Amino acid sequence: VVVEDQPDVSAVLSAYNQQGDPTLYEEYYSGLKHFIECSLDCHRAELSQLFYPLFVHMYLELVYNQHESEAKSFFERFHGDQECYYQDDLRVLSSLTKKEHMKGNETMLDFRTSKFVLRISRDSYQLLKRHLQEKQNNQIWNIVQEHLYIDIFDGMPRSKQQIDAMVGSLAGEAKREANKAKVFFGLLKEPEFDVPLDDEDEEGENEEGKPKKKKPKKDSAGSKSKKQDPNAPPQNRIPLPELKDSDKLDKVMNMKEAARRVRLGPECLPSICFYTFLNAYQGLTAVDITDDSSMIVGGFADSTVRVWSVTPKKLRSVKTAADLSLIDKESDDVLERIMDEKTASELKILYGHSGPVYGTSFSPDRNYLLSCSEDGTVRLWSLQTFTCLVGYKGHNYPVWDTQFSPYGYYFVSGGHDRVARLWATDHYQPLRIFAGHLADVTCTRFHPNSNYIATGSADRTVRLWDVLNGNCVRIFTGHKGPIHSLAFSPNGRFLATGATDGRVLLWDIGHGLMVGELKGHTDTIYALRFSRDGEILASGSMDNTVRLWDAVKAFEDLETDDFTTATGHINLPENSQELLLGTYMTKSTPVVHLHFTRRNLLLAAGAYSSQ
């Protein structure tokens, strides 16, 4: 027997065979609607969640059994009652009018196979069950049992606001079980090494003209992270690459920069430097900036990848093999000598993709660059030679995003095939496949400790995956549109997500709870970034603005008690206005990328659009 991994289409659809009388469907539905609308206020909000999934399943059942005219009239009569955030799904649904249409439609197949999850208090559930059984309304009861998963909790029914905050994804809410697993959200211990004092801190030479001896001093940043964070994963939970000497030098540079970092806060907002791509008629589709803010890369719709130096230092390639053999390898400036001055330029263009480039990511050591494209591949480029080293083929469809791990070596990609993949630069097959989303994976981000990956999807959910075993450990529902940006807070405890609904949602990873909602943007949020110490969250949007939010205040005194976790009674404060520290308009440039430099200057980027 051949066991297919995809549920067989006909088997899935045949669940629609046990049908009632097609002419009575409208009566069944309006009967239930009347019952719910007349029930007590406390139950009404909860039971109203049934309207949408029942509407879809009853409509599909009519279409499947070829009662086309009944299906049409059912749709026309009740589709206006559904919540506004299901508009897009209803548009897809309205085009399915014949049994044949259902076979090829993935969205609907998913709706069929995955049970729609509703969270309802025991009292409301009993009320519903009694009503349906008294009415002998088996048709609806069958659908409830067959296609819905009702997650019943003990306690007060939830209010309309509480429900509205959490619903809106393709498959309803997450089951409470889905967010119970332990997540090690703490940070890994930094390796220790001595940081030499900065030259500028000392008078270069004393009277006799001899340079002073440098005293190695323990850096404060190094000393405070001696204790292991109790929430951190074991250091060797996943194998991470060893630090090279050049990485250590870079860390030292980083610490020196950090010492000069501006402490941000409501009283001290960052300066924002905006890189506008002018005349980008190639169509700018992705941007990334190196951690040390020395290079910026753009991915374009004409399938090119362009790398610029944003410091006076030009980009140079390594010399040819013949020239390299002439160099004295022992000389002090060997790293300088291997570079070919003749190749120096501000801009390098990388050719290789055969479709728009949707994601770009620099490696932490600035030796490599990743790009992913509509052509289904992820490419790894060398920034020493500015050539393509590998093309990773695994996704058969467009790849929407890719990102290097904060430790390098590993990277993640997500695409139209609804899965995210974890890769290592030296393997041409993926190491892990994260499957579970019901629509395109639109954005991917590594947790700062590299043990977890967050993915945002067009199914309007965000999932957190464990790199070690590929399990999904968190499902966050609440966005009303596809998710386009993700950002972890520097301490690893929180996640911020932005979507086409113009809302930024804040999540507590440890408790698996939504803890805040930032309203203000009027269009898709394409960029989110926390400042280096996590005091400020910056968001950039298609509405041509960058907004700054007070992250400290948003996350302080959270009510994350066990009761809230158990029932999902979240009470979001309506405090977006207090948390908004500033809004900065561009003339006509949607913001596609944000980056805080090591000293907390905010860099933003986008392509000027002359509408």
The DSSP line for 336-372 is: HHTEEEEEEESEEEE---SS-EEEEEE-TTSSEEEEE
Contact (CB, 8 A) for 45 and 158: yes
Residue 324 has pLDDT above 80, yes or no: no
pLDDT attached to residue 29: 86
Percent of the chain with pLDDT over 90: 43
pLDDT digits (tens, 9 = 90+) for 441-499: 999 999 999 999 999 999 999 999 999 999 999 999 999 999 999 999 999 999 999 99
Helix axes 51-64, 138-147, angle to 10 degrees: 100
How much is the average pLDDT of 195-206? 48
**In this structure, is the dihedral angle defined by the CA atoms of residues 297, 298, 304 and 307, taken in order, positive or negative?**
negative
pLDDT at 560 over 90: no
- Coil, strand or helix at 136: coil
Band of pLDDT at residue 333, cut at 50, 70 and 90? confident
3-state secondary structure of 10: helix
SS3 252: helix
Reported as a single tens digit per residue, the pLDDT across 574-594 is 778 889 999 999 999 999 999
H or E element, residue 32: helix 25-38
Burial class (CB in 10 A: 0-12, 13-18, 19+), 483: buried
Largest CA distance in the chain: 103
Query: Phi, psi at residue 114, to the nearest 5°?
Result: -90, 135
pLDDT of residue 10: 52
- Determine the pLDDT at residue 568: 62
Would you place residue 143 in the very low, low, confident or very high pLDDT band (cuts 50, 70, 90)?
A: confident
Interacting residues of 310 by C-beta distance below 8 A, sequence separation 6+: 275, 289, 293, 294, 295, 296
Q: Which of 366, 380, 449, 448 is nearest to 413 (CA)?
A: 380
Q: Please give the Cα distance from 316 to 337 (Å, whole number).
A: 11
Alpha-helical runs (H) found in 39-84: 41-47, 51-64, 68-78
Residue labelled with tokens 């570079």: 339
Q: b/e string for 568-598 if b means 16 or more Cβ within 10 A?
A: bbbebeeebeebbbeebebeebbbbbbbbbb
Return the pLDDT at 460.
92
pLDDT of 301 reads 93
- Read off the pLDDT of residues 91-138 as tens digits, 9 standing for 90 and up: 888 888 887 777 766 666 667 677 888 888 899 999 888 888 877 667
Residue 561 has pLDDT above 90, yes or no: no
The whole-number pLDDT of residue 146 equals 82
Q: Is 332 exposed, middle or buried (0-12, 13-18, 19+ CB in 10 A)?
A: exposed
Predicted confidence at residue 317, as pLDDT, reads 87
Distance of CA 465 to the CA centre of its chain: 11
Q: Are 502 and 480 in contact (CB under 8 A)?
A: no
For range 507-516, the mean pLDDT: 90
Cα distances (angstroms) measured from residue 98 to each of 67, 78, 203, 204, 267: 9, 19, 83, 82, 61
Tokens read off for 357: 């480039």
Phi-psi region of 408 (alpha: psi -120 to 50; beta: other; left: phi over 0): left
Cβ atoms 556, 107 nearer than 8 A: no
How far apart CA 545 and CA 585 sit, in angstroms, is: 4
Question: Rounded to whole angstroms, how far apart are CA atoms 190 and 242?
Answer: 12
Residue with tokens 């009694």: 130
CA distance 393 to 374: 12
From-to residues of CATH 1.25.40.500 in the chain? 17-173
pLDDT at 518: 93
What are the residue ranges of CATH 2.130.10.10 in the chain?
Answer: 273-413+443-462+473-557+572-606
| Residue 328: predicted pLDDT | 74
Ramachandran angles phi, psi of 177, nearest 5°: -55, -30
Task: Check pLDDT > 90 for residue 56.
Answer: no
375-402 in b/e burial notation, b at 16+ Cβ within 10 A?
bbbbbbbbbeebebebebebbeebbbbb
Give the pLDDT mean for 38-55.
88
Report the pLDDT value the prediction gives residue 20, as an integer from 0 to 100. Answer: 64
Amino acid 94: pLDDT = 85
More confident residue, 12 or 527: 527
Q: Where are the alpha helices (DSSP H) in 115-273?
A: 122-134, 138-147, 160-166, 220-224, 245-259
CA distance 143 to 137: 11
Res 457: pLDDT: 94
Angle at 51 between CA 48 and CA 55, to 5 degrees: 180
The predicted model gives 419-435 an average pLDDT of 94
Average pLDDT over residues 169-182: 84
- Residue that wins the pLDDT comparison between 60 and 596: 596
Classify 270 as helix, strand or coil. Answer: coil
Distance CA 215, CA 196 (A): 7
CA–CA dist 525, 611 (Å, integer): 19
**Other CB atoms within 10 A of residue 439 CB:** 18
pLDDT confidence of residue 209: 42
- Confidence band, pLDDT 50/70/90 cuts, at residue 526: very high
Residue 47 contacts residue 39 (beta carbons within 8 Å): yes
The answer, yes or no, to whether residue 268 has pLDDT greater than 50, is: yes
Please state which of the ranges 245-259, 369-383, 547-561, 592-606 shows the lowest mean pLDDT.
547-561
pLDDT at 280 exceeding the cut of 50: yes
pLDDT of residue 509: 93
Listed in sequence order, the residues at least 6 apart from 495 whose beta carbon sits closer than 8 Å to its beta carbon are 454, 462, 464, 476, 486, 487, 488, 489, 506, 507, 509
| Residue 536 near residue 269 (C-beta atoms within 8 A) | yes
Q: How far apart are CA 310 and CA 347, in angstroms?
A: 10
Kindly tell me if the per-residue pLDDT of 218 is higher than 60. no
pLDDT of residue 3 exceeding 50, the answer is no
Most confident of 27-31, 330-334, 588-592: 588-592
Return the closest-CA partner of residue 477 out of 447, 500, 502, 497: 497
Distance CA 582, CA 197 (A): 37
Q: What is the pTM of this model?
A: 0.86
| Band of pLDDT at residue 208, cut at 50, 70 and 90 | very low
- Domain covering 17-173 in this structure, CATH number: 1.25.40.500
Q: Are the C-beta atoms of residues 466 and 431 closer than 8 Å to each other?
A: no
The rounded mean pLDDT for the chain is: 84
Smallest CA-to-CA distance from 386 within 310, 308, 327, 333 is with 308
In degrees rounded to 5, what are phi and psi of residue 553?
A: -65, -35
The whole-angstrom separation of Cα 413 and Cα 443 is: 8
| CATH architecture of the domain covering 273-413+443-462+473-557+572-606 | 7 Propeller (2.130)
